[in-house]
Structure 1
């Protein structure tokens, strides 16, 4: 898949007025399991619900764009798309089709919306005049929503989008161009390796689950999936510029009433020069994971937002 061909596909789809809000994998599976949803009936079914489709379901122009972008697989008497498209804050984002089983899959879901909304609130809230962003980075950018929102809200800023997944970088490049986010620089990086300097804003929505297959897009490492989140919080201690802020959206296992991520990150930040705040945004996400052996001791998994700020010198 070339960037130009993917961009052409995205532009063709966007021109149809396409819109789709992505749900959790569990909800997606339930909706798709209904007999009437075995085959797609429109473009939303093809690109949102990742259903197989037959000839004539989408326009010839859209089908041709899929062929050129090489995103079609045959399935039965029809085809199925290897890409999916979601709308978020007025923008269209291409990412991996459901189900995201491959190690290098690009995930997009309710977490993405909460993450994006947290960034937008920070940049456009009551303290917007006080939020100076000249240099920003989205660590583990995935399909790029974090970097794109920052670049659109702060068009004069230099915004880096970094990831270890080359497919994520390709999708981010396409999605940024589609959104007109010209200030985004795409760079392959493990956390911030090879990316020098300080940042006025660091945003991240890292993998935070313990995945038995250790797939890149969902495995956070550590005891309960908090490994990557802790590493990013630790980076903020040295990579935030004076007045700079970390917005870290992540998940945490709650065991016997104890928030495992907070318990680990608190001493790390308390012994730094950063002021920090911690919010539980959703008390119960990915409940199906509690059936897994890794979460045998967990009561629930919560979505949280860690905000850490360095004082201006």
Structure 2
């Protein structure tokens, strides 16, 4: 994204805010069902364009807003209609740009119900941080939802958002400017490889699905999708300052009564942490994934939360 694209996207975001735009992003399956309802074939308002990713007639938008979309390079032509290549979602009072539905491309920037659960649970854990961190990092920040939330809550902190996806970092930069954050920096990094120093707050909502196409925003690696999550715990505790917090939201493929992800990190948590808490936030997410290769023995995918405080 070049500077003129970013400037136009920022202006578009401010225009949407002034217009009172709000949209809560749903799961892909719900999105598909809603868009298949009669009458939803094309957009009739701003939510249809920027939320539901529906094609729209050029005269539906104010000329200035359409000009900003073209200047930002986010308009795709479909015959006589147009379609936005980005969505805009509401998170609290913030608006965040992310990829349009469906998110099929390798460099898609995902935002959805997982984002709301992750950020909401993280915010509820903030009271445990006292006066807050002085140096925090969001590993795999995507469009920057968590990093921006931390930067707003703790304006004295140095907050870093990292991702391997350059498109994600570009959108996070725009979203950070749209949210008026002054203490957010963005870095390209594969987990902790591109980072120096240690932290007193590490948060992450990594990919955790077994994806045949191994799309980076979705594929969690081996161990039934838990490899990246396990690495974040192992490498994160090494980079965490004493008394610092690691907060991880992820999904775990579960067969029978055992949680193999928790079993893989329990000994390390007991050894390195003075206090840690692990819970299932939702026992059954992405149920449709269970019919995909690699999930033959899996009974459910659970959304889990880990908050560990280093000894």
TM-score normalized by the length of structure 2: 0.96
2:21 paired with 1:18: yes
Aligned residues of 1:283 and 1:301 also touching (Cα < 8 A): yes
2:30 paired with 1:27: yes
For 2:267 and 2:6, locate their aligned partners in 1 and report how far apart those are by CA, in whole Å: 43
2:185 aligned partner: 185
> What is the CA deviation profile of residues 203-259 of structure 1, one whole-angstrom value per residue up to 9, with x for unaligned ones?
100000000000010000012100110010001221111210011000001112222
- SS at structure 2 position matched to 1:36: coil
1:38 aligned partner: 41
For 1:67 and 1:239, locate their aligned partners in 2 and report how far apart those are by CA, in whole Å: 43
For 1:275 and 1:136, locate their aligned partners in 2 and report how far apart those are by CA, in whole Å: 19
- SS at structure 1 position matched to 2:60: coil
Q: What is the aligned residue count?
A: 308
- SS at structure 2 position matched to 1:280: strand
1:249 aligned partner: 249
1:295 aligned partner: 295
1:88 aligned partner: 91
Unpaired stretches in structure 2, ≥5 consecutive residues = none
For 2:183 and 2:150, locate their aligned partners in 1 and report how far apart those are by CA, in whole Å: 9
List aligned pairs for 1:265-280, cutoff 5 A.
Answer: 265-280=265-280
State which drifts further: 139-148 or 73-82. Answer: 73-82
- Provide closer, same or farther for how the CA distance between residues 25 and 194 of structure 1 changes in structure 2, counting only shifts above 3 A: same
Query: How far 1:274 moved relative to its partner?
Result: 4.8
1:115 aligned partner: 118
Query: How far 1:99 moved relative to its partner?
Result: 0.2
Query: How far 1:115 moved relative to its partner?
Result: 0.7
Query: How far 1:277 moved relative to its partner?
Result: 1.0
Query: How far 1:283 moved relative to its partner?
Result: 0.8
For 2:263 and 2:35, locate their aligned partners in 1 and report how far apart those are by CA, in whole Å: 39
- SS at structure 1 position matched to 2:211: coil
Query: How far 1:262 moved relative to its partner?
Result: 1.3
2:9 paired with 1:6: yes
State which drifts further: 72-81 or 271-280. Answer: 271-280
Unpaired stretches in structure 1, ≥5 consecutive residues = none
2:78 paired with 1:66: no
What is the aligned-residue RMSD (CA, Å)? 1.2
TM-score normalized by the length of structure 1: 0.95
Aligned residues of 1:243 and 1:309 also touching (Cα < 8 A): yes
Query: How far 1:131 moved relative to its partner?
Result: 4.5
1:172 aligned partner: 172
Aligned residues of 1:12 and 1:61 also touching (Cα < 8 A): no
Aligned residues of 1:119 and 1:149 also touching (Cα < 8 A): no
For 1:51 and 1:254, locate their aligned partners in 2 and report how far apart those are by CA, in whole Å: 36
For 2:263 and 2:214, locate their aligned partners in 1 and report how far apart those are by CA, in whole Å: 24
List aligned pairs for 1:215-234, cutoff 5 A.
Answer: 215-234=215-234
For 2:273 and 2:300, locate their aligned partners in 1 and report how far apart those are by CA, in whole Å: 32
Aligned residues of 1:12 and 1:65 also touching (Cα < 8 A): no
- SS at structure 2 position matched to 1:136: strand
- SS at structure 1 position matched to 2:206: coil
- SS at structure 2 position matched to 1:35: coil
Displaced runs of 4 or more, over 6 A: none
- SS at structure 2 position matched to 1:277: strand
2:310 aligned partner: 310
For 1:102 and 1:194, locate their aligned partners in 2 and report how far apart those are by CA, in whole Å: 24
For 1:168 and 1:259, locate their aligned partners in 2 and report how far apart those are by CA, in whole Å: 31
